[in-house]
Amino acid sequence: MGGTAPGGGVARPLAAALAPFAVVAAAHIVPAATWLPRFRSACLPRLAGLGRPGHVALTFDDGPDPESTPRFLDELDRLGVRATFFVLGEAVVRHPELTRDIAGRGHELGVHGWTHSRPWLPAPGRDLRETALTVRVVQDVTGRRPVWYRPPYGILTAGRWAAARRLGLRPVLWTAWGRDWTAEATPASVRATVGADLRGGGTVLLHDCDRASAPGCWRSALGALPGLVTACRDAGREVGPLTEHGVGNDRPARHDTRRTGRPRPRRLTPASAAAADTCP
């Protein structure tokens, strides 16, 4: 005897009604599969940050922070190394002098987002506004327009990807990290974890503060730096920022300078940043 399963008449229209939402959700989150290190290294080497074999790109996320970031700057000065700092816009507004100091010491700044948020729901308008605002405050404070973009947690959704590309930013993740955000991390564990995946042409992810990590864990990354740099140099590899890494053919944005060659910053306050919260 033929028939229809109980509730079948309701299930089909409900499934049809939910289908568009499923498509939107899939489009939003599928690009985040690039978070998987082996997948992106094999299939998307530019996004993974693979550069020239004789170079290692050193990058830091989540700053600036007045307690920890200056210690990293001092250690990098001592080691004679420049790096790329992926900064949060809200932290740049709170600490403009420290942000200028990062640039003034020869490091480059990339965009890490306005806040360190997880993108659970699609919000392309917000992604564009917040990324644009972060670009603007970095440029206002340092006089240099950022080139690189790395989303918080490395979760590159469709909205974040589109925002970066519209703003002329180059998304880049990493090939090796130190797991330096955990309470159990030590300088030795950070060196070992980075070393397990580090090859010539790789991009290293560390953190110069504990804004989204275990309190004080930045000390492990700081303590690991000398050994990491020495190991790279012993292997015949230079250590430097992404701009010198040879990832693709992108060039840094041009910027205004004084006669001394230093960037010409503009004063920025939280109020002026909020007033600038529009897309360029």
Question: Residue 112 catalytic?
Answer: no
Q: How far apart are CA 112 and CA 125, in angstroms?
A: 17
207 noted as active-site residue: yes
Residue of 28, 55, 61, 208 with catalytic role: 61
d(CA 178, CA 196) in angstroms, rounded, equals: 10
Rounded distance between C-alpha atoms, residue 64 and residue 211, angstroms:
9
Active-site residue, from 55, 112, 207, 245? 207
The set of catalytic residues is 61, 207
